[in-house]
Structure 1
């Protein structure tokens, strides 16, 4: 089976309510997390986009990158994935969230290398519960109808889509997919970085 072309989708349309400020703008290693994630994603995909909501299109950081604007109501990450599949139905999508500060190039390369185009998706298992991690995963064109049907039924959880789908599930990649959602978590991470530097 020939593989669909692989595009990249960087999810950065969230409201960051728990963080209290835009997670994409948080500084890790001397640059905004959005730029760091963008570099990682574009290194392993032929074409990539940032997934945003309409009111974010003129935000300077996001405006500097190719954009895909959500065409679905604010239903979380599912809106971005659905919109991407609608825009390029022939493509597979390497989807990553912008709040994964420990994600690295080796992890993304391993995901792409393990891709099985005959499956609906290729994803890592969570190191916490063993379930598929949807926000660092490779979504094939064949999964789009399943995702759309669940959306139309009022279910907007990408993880539940992967649980029900025929996917290739990879072992957890250590801490690479741990995310930071609150100001307290971010402050703790920054303190840890300072301790390493001192």
Structure 2
């Protein structure tokens, strides 16, 4: 009988380095229910990971909201979320990373706990399927060390889409967790989300 695979340590990575062009302001600083989204997501990640980091661009290192938290600065220019994932994997190659976007106001602790509980360390990644199109959700997913080689190869080939990387990998896919991963990208979507949260309160 073969030995069960020993799971690498699980670290958390909160992605906050995006330019937020469609929102026209830093999405990580937007407050929902009176708390900046960055701090709320940070707390959720801390509950389920051994160590937690904020992914940011070099120009954000002195931002008051980020400066007090452990940062991993992007080492890759202008390639979107893949910059944060690759930079974290370069820094701690033996860790698995629970990668989380900072624009998920409906995300709750139970959803993250489900992801961690159903993690498959023998896969390259564990991810939810999207509630909207059934494809893997790369920005609330656990990326195992085994995913690093494919991401690096895709980067070398000029392909930067984390979702396509999951589609090409041995990824354990979990059912979509309802509306928990609905994100907010524009001022109109933010206003609609504020109304939804008021109704849920």
Q: What is the TM-score with the length of structure 1 in the denominator?
A: 0.97
1:56 has 2:60 as partner: yes
The one-character-per-residue Cα deviations of 1:37-88 (angstroms, maximum 9, x if unpaired) are 0000000001010000000000000111100000011200000000000000
Q: Provide the C-alpha distance between the structure 2 equivalents of 1:89 and 1:195, rounded to a whole number of angstroms.
A: 43
1:195: Cα distance to partner? 5.2
Indicate the residue corresponding to 1:46 in structure 2: 50
1:24 has 2:28 as partner: yes
The one-character-per-residue Cα deviations of 1:97-118 (angstroms, maximum 9, x if unpaired) are 0000111000000000001110
1:170: Cα distance to partner? 0.2
Q: What is the TM-score with the length of structure 2 in the denominator?
A: 0.96
Aligned residue for 2:127, secondary structure, equals strand
Indicate the residue corresponding to 2:123 in structure 1: 119
Gaps of 5+ in 1: none
Matches within 5 A, 1:11-160: 11-160=15-164
Moved over 6 A (4+): none
Relative distance call for 1:195 and 1:124 in structure 2 (3 A) is closer
1:193: Cα distance to partner? 3.6
Q: Provide the C-alpha distance between the structure 2 equivalents of 1:53 and 1:165, rounded to a whole number of angstroms.
A: 27
Q: Provide the C-alpha distance between the structure 2 equivalents of 1:24 and 1:39, rounded to a whole number of angstroms.
A: 13
Indicate the residue corresponding to 2:175 in structure 1: 171
Gaps of 5+ in 2: none
1:186 has 2:190 as partner: yes
Indicate the residue corresponding to 1:8 in structure 2: 12
1:29: Cα distance to partner? 1.2
- What is the aligned residue count? 197
